[in-house]
Amino acid sequence: MKQSTIDNLRQAVGADIIITEDHILEERRHDYSVISQLDDLQGRGAARPGCVAQPRKTAEVVTIVNFCRENGVPLIPFGLGSGVVSGVIANPEAVLIDMSQMNRIRKMDVHNLLVTFEAGVRGSDAEAALNKQGLILGHYPQSMAVSSVGGWVATRACGQFSTAYGSIEDVVFGLEVVLPSGEVFETCPTPRASSGPDLKELFLGSEGTLGIVTAVTFSVRWKPEKQAYSAFYLADMDRGFELQRHIIQHGWEPPVMRQYDASETKRNFPDHARGADALLIMIHEGPAGKVAAEMKECLEIAIDLGCEEAPVSVVEKWFEDRNHVPTFEEFLTQGIIVDTIEIAATWDKIGGIYRSAVTSLGEVENIANASAHSSHCYRSGINLYFTFAAIPGDSRQMSPVYYDCWRRVMEATIAGGGGIAHHHGIGRVRRPWLTAELGNPGVGLLQALKKTLDPLQMMNPGVLIPGD
């Protein structure tokens, strides 16, 4: 980026907003995706952005957007950089707009249970602010402490307590978004509308390609009166899927329902793993009477299906470790390529996808682990979260093996009739398979939206939308 462009941007928005310090640029070259970390270690790392803009208010975002549009400069939104699908890869001609300084609570309306945060507020800070009032968000991604509320919207995130409280689309009440035109779009503060399509959905999962989310209003909850745990051993994954389906289709909603295959049970709960058994852990929350009734019914359903109770200490262990952020570097420097891939499918298809994806991963040369767990349960289906680890021997093979593992899981999911992305988004890593999911008309719709909202294709180019 030319120095004159940086100078002009500084003049437009204020010198203190535009940063060119080496370490700031260096730390924002990419998100947390494994492949970007591997590329760094192997000397192919992403370039630094031309400069970093750190706006503190919406008006400054508008100025930055207008400047980039008028000067043909690509603009890459950045929350807290915890994305895992290469939704952020900087380039030296781009301005990276780092939203982390837009970190205030705008409004806390306890009467209506509505709270508005600026987009850069850290998830754990948002929850802590609510807890002081006896409130909770109900949206708890594992990355709570390293991700922003704007990033959650942009990636269409999903939290660990989603079965009862829903995913981001269920807890977001309203949005403020700066469009590529520089206009500020705000949703109407109403609990429901029949005023045409829900326009906030355009930005849920838009991954920085259609606008910049500047504020998010959440519909929050009172802290539940009671929390209790239960766990069951499962003869196999299919038995567990049946158990979860019965529980949820009978109207029970433990916020946390997680089912680990035998391999993950051994890895995560070595003290309580039982032979080839899989494991289901659940957290029940709500009014004490509801929790007691739910636990009693879940136990009866489990016994009817031939499942045995497991010690609740497995749930206590999960709860303690639930927000642990793994460092991939220690694996990568030992020549181990690892990643996780989440998908979803209806109940009739999930067992087949589980088996074909794990089998296909198992055929990768030098594979050390191919396993899965489910973590989000719905009346009509469930997600799966695959984990692979391979040790190719020749470190030059780590990158090809990474892409091969992704291809295998994507192809098994598509062939099995599932959805390729449950909650991490598309980014660059999944983009080659989006057409298989949306079809040509669906991709055409996305492209038409992009062309209309961002005709110069300045917003986060190369991400999400095929052909962008």
**Which residues in this chain contact ligand FAD in the complex, by CB under 6 A?**
31-32, 76-84, 87-88, 99, 119, 141-143, 147-148, 150-152, 154-155, 157-158, 160, 207-208, 212-213, 325-326, 423-424, 460, 463
Is 162 or 413 the residue whose CB approaches ligand FAD more closely? 162
Q: Closer to ligand FAD by CB, 133 or 452: give it.
A: 452
Q: Which two tokens stand for residue 174?
A: 């309203």
Residue with Cβ nearer ligand FAD (85 or 302): 85
Nearest to 125 by CA among 153, 162, 160, 100: 100
Q: From residue 419, how far is each of 201, 215, 409 by CA, in Å?
A: 18, 29, 11
* Residue tagged 């900087």 (tokens): 90
Q: Residue 462 Cβ, how far from ligand FAD at the closest point, in Å?
A: 10
* Residues in CB range of 120: below 8 A, 6 or more apart: 79, 80, 98, 99, 100, 101, 102, 103, 148, 149, 150
For residues 149-172, b (16+ Cβ closer than 10 Å) or e, as one string? bbbbbbbbbbbbbbbbbbbbeebb
> Whose Cβ is closer to ligand FAD: residue 157's or residue 243's?
157
Q: State which residue, 173 or 233, has the beta carbon closest to ligand FAD.
A: 173
CB of 363 to ligand FAD, least distance (A): 27
Positive or negative: CA dihedral 79, 81, 85, 86: positive
Q: What is the number of other CB atoms lying within 10 angstroms of the CB of residue 116? A: 21
**Number of residues assigned to the chain:** 468
**For ligand FAD, which is the closer residue by CB, 152 or 165?**
152
Backbone conformation region of residue 158, classed left if phi is above 0, alpha if psi is from -120 to 50, else beta: beta
Residue 369 phi, psi (nearest 5): -155, 135
Provide φ and ψ at 344, rounded to 5°. Answer: -150, 160
> In terms of CB distance, is 171 or 291 closer to ligand FAD?
171
Give the separation between CA 187 and CA 184, rounded to whole angstroms. 10
